[in-house]
Amino acid sequence: MIDGTVVDLSRIQFASTALYHFLFVPLTLGLSFLLAAMETVYVTTGKPIYKEMAQFWGKLFMINFALGVATGLTMEFQFGTNWSFYSSFVGDIFGAPLAIEGLMAFFMESTFVGLMIFGWERLSKGQHLAVTWLVAFASNLSALWILVANSFMQDPKGAAFDPTTLRMQLTSFQQLIFSPDAQSKFVHTSIAGYVTAAVFVAGISAFYMLKKRHMELAKRSFRMAALYGVMATIGVITLGDALGFVAAQAQPTKLAAMEGLWKSEPAPMSFNLIAFPDQAKQENEGAVRIPYLLSLLVTHSIDGTVEGVDTLEQQATRKIENGIPAVLALKTLSKDPQDAAALAQFNAHEKDLGYGFLVQRYAPDLNNVTPAQVQQAARDTIPPVAAVFWAFRAMVGFGLLMLAFFVLAVLYTLRNKVQDKRWFLLAAVWMIPIPFLANESGWLVAELGRQPWTVFGVLPTWMSASTHSVGYMAFSLVGFVTLYSIFIAVEMYLMVRAIRQGPEPHHGGGDARPRPRPELAPRPVQAAAHATNLEG
């Protein structure tokens, strides 16, 4: 039995690593397409200001990309070091999309990033534009494969457990890639990255307008970011609704936690706008409810119903009782794979094997499981409701705030009045952290809402960790947090320095402030004497 503290420390270490990494990824995804759009305008119109924009924002993109790679590499190693049973159990499926991401998307992205940054004077306009678009597509392709791997953990499609090898094996690559969770999550996450980049560019542009620096670049960048952002924000909210609908089918416990729904109710169901969930009592304190809204949001029907925690725990109890014979049969098969009776017993109860594993945490001897232990395991199937509930509301609230911001931004910039709205420019600067907070909140909803499963319904988290010591995990956790905090500080320093330096001005554009006239170089004495001799 793995020490519970080791499991918790392993979870905290992976969560902290992922949260650090996810500060960089969305900006890379969104900024890459915004760069491609700026350069496309430059190539089609020939206006140098758009080249200046692409080069300046490209410099910030490169800083973010480099540190994003540095923070992401260790995550894949952690699967092998801290989650060894998980890697062994589902490595055949989980490793495939990660391998494709590394060999195809990341390789392509890394290669063309160098050409994009250093190829301005070495490639033709068309060649460089093609390279920039390839960087954008490769960045988003990389996200696709990573999210396919993650979606297998959320909704394991295209795989089956093999009792002879004691591992999950891939049965359909098509189902793995095109699972509803993978597709909706990829689109939702990618578009959230576009929103992040739009807010970032609009905020920095607003800073320049407040300082009356680089006005031409700032106004044009702000306009592109505003148009890009309003479309992306509408898209991310729409796709978020689709992702919630998928979650209702695949992970009803996550949905119940998101809504703070303890009891199943008849339709039409009310939506908990604000509440303070109490997990021990399984009730909400101080709830503010909006009638009919939950049915409409989740089922898109006024007659639709959503299962509450009480119903889901009853379902989990039955699955645990059905999964226990599967685990017992599996133990027999591990000693004698030809045991026909054990194989028949396993096949009859296979679909609830994971729930059998769940109760094993409290009852190592499954021949003597008590109803109290089953009930305790059933309660474990409900994720931490308060954390998921508030993370979901933070994500949605930030999303609506950004939609309102971009609507105003489009209105002001199309009327060419944004540079006169000092209060709005200040608000734009303060908006820069908002999409990052929204992204982190969304990640918490997705990953905390999956608990207590590493692979939902198949492999419990407590079984997945490696058998390290508590001291080793605590030491490595402190090391990771310290190192990644340094990365964040380096990112902030490099970004601020690049923003203060500003873009390299093109002839007649860029910084609108008058520049000092360069002093004339003194005339060489020898040349002057030679001229005098000629005159003489």
Range of the domain at 291: 265-299
Alpha helices, DSSP H, located in 212-279:
215-250, 252-259
Residue 3: the pLDDT is 81
Residue 506: the pLDDT is 54
First to last CA, the chain: 103
| One domain for residues 144 and 213 | yes
| One domain for residues 44 and 120 | yes
| One domain for residues 125 and 174 | yes
| One domain for residues 275 and 234 | no
| One domain for residues 284 and 151 | no
| One domain for residues 280 and 177 | no
| One domain for residues 37 and 71 | yes
Burial 491-512 (b: 16+ CB within 10 A, else e): beebbeebeeebbebbeebbbe
In a domain, 425, yes or no: no
In a domain, 532, yes or no: no
pTM for the full model? 0.88
Instruction: For residue 128, give the amino acid letter.
Output: H
Residue that has been written with the tokens 């190539």 in this structure: 43
| One domain for residues 290 and 232 | no
pLDDT along the chain (536 residues), means of 10: 86 91 91 95 94 94 88 81 91 87 83 89 93 93 91 92 89 90 89 95 96 94 95 89 77 93 91 93 92 87 89 96 94 89 93 94 89 94 96 95 96 93 96 96 93 94 91 91 90 92 63 45 44 37
Distance in angstroms (rounded) separating the CA atoms of residues 268 and 255 = 17
| One domain for residues 134 and 21 | yes
- What are the backbone angles phi and psi of residue 274, rounded to the nearest 5°? -135, 140
Residue 527: the pLDDT is 42
Residue 96: the pLDDT is 87
Burial 251-266 (b: 16+ CB within 10 A, else e): bbbbbbbbbbbbebee
| One domain for residues 271 and 235 | no
Residue 76: the pLDDT is 78
Rg (CA), the chain: 28
In a domain, 131, yes or no: yes
In a domain, 229, yes or no: yes
Alpha-carbon distance values, 152 to 21, 382, 440, 442 (Å) = 20, 20, 20, 18
| Residue among 453, 266, 228 at smallest CA distance from 358 | 453
In a domain, 122, yes or no: yes
* Longest alpha-carbon distance in the chain: 119
| One domain for residues 172 and 290 | no
Residue that has been written with the tokens 């992401």 in this structure: 72
Q: In total, how many domains does the chain have? A: 2
- What DSSP letter does each residue of 59-92 carry, written as one string? HHHHHHHHHHHHHHHHHHHHHHHT-HHHHHHHHH
| One domain for residues 77 and 150 | yes
In a domain, 402, yes or no: no
Residue 508: the pLDDT is 43
